[in-house]
Amino acid sequence: MKTLFKILFLVFLLLGFFNSASSASIEVSLEKKSLAIGEDFLVSIFLNTENKKVNAFAGKINYPSETFEIKSFRTGGSVATLWLEAPQVSKSGEIFFSGIVPGGYQGERGFLFSFVLRSQKEGRYKITAKDLEIFLHDGLGTSVSAKNIPANLEISDKQVSAKISLDEKDISPPEPFEILVVKDENLFTGKKAIIFEAEDKGLGIKEYLICEGFFRKCFSGSSPHLLKNQLLDDLVRVKAVDYADNFYIAHLFTGSALLRYVFYLIVVIIFYMFGRFVWRKIF
């Protein structure tokens, strides 16, 4: 994660030495603090910049993974417009995340993301943020000490009388976006790469699938992405998928790719015409 941030600040922040600054905070917020076994509830994560402008953050959310089941994540409406690591569960059972806000953000209650948990065992529990990193939008990559504001809740042994689903119906695909080719000495040692960013007004972007070429296998990736084909003579597609599995596919079709595929088309036409000529001569 620290390596990602070093690359990030080289590109976006003209990274210098990290300095120390006064604190900001990450808050874990619950709609309800008393629940029944089997009940779904929403946990939201908010950023308070304490009158400062910040543009990058990272951290983990710790919750009793043996007691709660994660049903879904939501990033729609987040102040983070670009995720280095979209919220997801690690092998250790913690939720990790890291994102940036190009142009910066300043506010008392900036929504980062939320997730739906289902309670499975009675007791008193705490959900807390840890290993927090927040950086100022000052062109220096100045680090801010980050306070954690946890949330406490109680699960009772009573049964849910009427289970209410918190799963939002999201039938809208991500917004259209573009793929841009970049070449920067500070990024992949000056090799050609693509950058892209999709926005989803529903549950948020779950993943990107990147495809280089018509028939090559697509794979999960993120922006920026180092191109395997540095000649740029292949069709490049990026499929943005949201948490409801709606998707939008952006295409990058360069002049070099057009010439290549036109050449292939001409070769196919020549072989076809030659085949017809030979067929008529023989039969």
> Which residues make Cβ contacts (< 8 Å) with residue 47, sequence separation at least 6?
24, 25, 26, 27, 54, 57, 79, 105, 107, 109, 110, 111, 112, 134
| pLDDT over threshold 70, residue 19 | no
**Bigger pLDDT: 96 vs 274:** 96
Greatest distance between any 2 Cα atoms in the chain: 88
Same domain, 222 and 153: no
Cα-Cα-Cα-Cα dihedral of 54, 60, 63, 64, to 10°?
-170
Predicted pLDDT at 16: 36
| Domain termination residue (choose one: 126, 159, 192) | 159
**Chain Cα centroid distance, residue 123:** 33
For residues 149 and 185, membership in a common domain is answered with no
Q: What's the confidence (pLDDT) of residue 31? A: 83
Query: Residue 257 pLDDT > 90, yes or no?
Result: no
Quick one: pLDDT at residue 162?
47
41 plus 122 within the same structural domain: yes
CA nearest neighbour of 47 among 125, 114, 94, 127: 114
Which amino acid is present at 217?
K
Cis before 224? omega within 30: yes
Q: How confident is the model over 79-99, as a mean pLDDT?
A: 88
Higher-pLDDT residue of 241 and 264 is: 241
Can you tell me the mean pLDDT for 64-83?
A: 88
* 195 and 115 in a common domain: no
| Residues 54 and 16 placed together within one structural domain of the fold | yes
> Is 86 a residue whose pLDDT tops 60?
yes
Mean predicted confidence (pLDDT) in 3-20: 46
Whole-number pLDDT of residue 208: 93
pLDDT in tens, 119-136: 888 999 999 999 999 999
Q: Which two tokens stand for residue 147?
A: 């306070």
Would you state the pLDDT for residue 23? 81
> Do 137 and 9 lie in a common domain?
yes
Residue bearing the bigger pLDDT, 46 or 6: 46
The total number of structural domains in the chain stands at: 2
**pLDDT of residue 15 exceeding 50:** no
Residue 94 domain boundaries: 2-159
61 and 153 assigned to the same domain: yes
Residues 198 and 121 in one domain: no
State the average pLDDT over residues 180-194.
88
Query: Based on the domain organization, do 81 and 153 belong to the same domain?
Result: yes
Instruction: Please indicate, yes or no, whether residues 142 and 14 belong to a single structural domain of this protein.
Output: yes
Choice between 165 and 71, residue whose per-residue pLDDT is larger: 71
CATH code, domain carrying 42: 2.60.40.680
Rounded Cα distance, 100 and 15, in Å: 14
pLDDT at 133: 94
20 and 144 fall within a common domain: yes
148 in the same domain as 31: yes
- Look at residue 160 and tell me whether its pLDDT is greater than 70: no
Structure tokens at 46: 């908010």
Global confidence as pTM? 0.66
The pLDDT, as a whole number, for residue 35 is 86
Considering the chain, what percentage of its residues have pLDDT values greater than 70? 88
Q: What value does the mean pLDDT take over residues 210-232?
A: 89
pLDDT at 2: 45
